[in-house]
Structures are given as structure tokens and as C-alpha cells.
Amino acid sequence: MKLKRGVNREAVHPAIWFALGVADEVYRQVAGKGCVVASLNDSHADRPKSLHNRGRAADLRTRDVTLPKVSEIHRQLVVRLDPRGFDVVLEPDHIHIEYDPKQGEAWLQEGAA
């Protein structure tokens, strides 16, 4: 995984780091290279309700991946992350991941041993 220059890594929720690890694995499997994080807790001051501002969202670059592979990456991320409280949205120029759990969803599963 690479972070675009200028990405603010401060105050990012641990769940987002988990999701980025999953995303990097999926990018490597599908596209043969790690993901590039284009945004975390930065550049969203004009949107006060954005989960980016609370460290609960990330944007992943898609411009260097073919459209069919981007679609497959998105599909796999939805399957892996949605049940754990994440929303994964395919935008025209990036994949947006946010941690916004509904009742019964959690990124960290307790009780597994």
C-alpha cells in the first residue's frame, strides 16, 4: 500500500487501517499491485459531515487499474467489508470506503479463538 503525498494519517480510526489492509490484499490479488490511498483525514473541510473529517473514511485510487479490474476489486471489497460495518462506494475516479456500522456490525469480531 502506498499513500499519496500529502495524505493526513493522523487521527484515523483503527477500522480504516483494517479496511486498507483488506483493500491492499484485494488490489494485489486482482490487479497485481498494491492500492494507493488518495485521501484519509484530509481535504474535506468543505463537507463538514464527511466521515473523512472524523478519520472514518478513505479513498483509493483507481486510475491506474482497468475498469473490469476496478469492478472486481469493488465487488470483493463489498463482500469482505460490508458485513463488518463498512460502506464501499465505486465513484467515477476512486473507491470510497467508510466505517459507518449499523446494529450488529463490527470490524473487529470478538470471541474468535
**pTM (whole model) above 0.95:** no
pLDDT of residue 48: 63
Spatial distance between the Cα atoms of 46 and 110, rounded to a whole number of angstroms:
37
Helix (H, G, I), strand (E, B) or coil at 99: strand
pLDDT of residue 102: 87
Domain limits, the chain: 2-99
pLDDT of residue 103: 86
Question: Grid coordinates representing 80?
Answer: 469482505
- Sign of the CA dihedral running 100, 46, 11, 88: positive
- Does residue 23 contact residue 77 with C-beta atoms inside 8 Å? yes
Helix (H, G, I), strand (E, B) or coil at 19: helix
**CATH no. of 2-99:** 3.30.1380.10
Per-residue pLDDT of the chain (113 residues; tens, 9 = 90+): 999 998 888 889 999 999 999 999 999 999 999 999 999 987 665 566 788 888 899 999 999 999 999 999 999 999 999 999 999 999 999 999 999 988 888 887 766 55
Q: How many residues are given for the chain?
A: 113
> Any idea which residue has 497485481 for its cell?
32
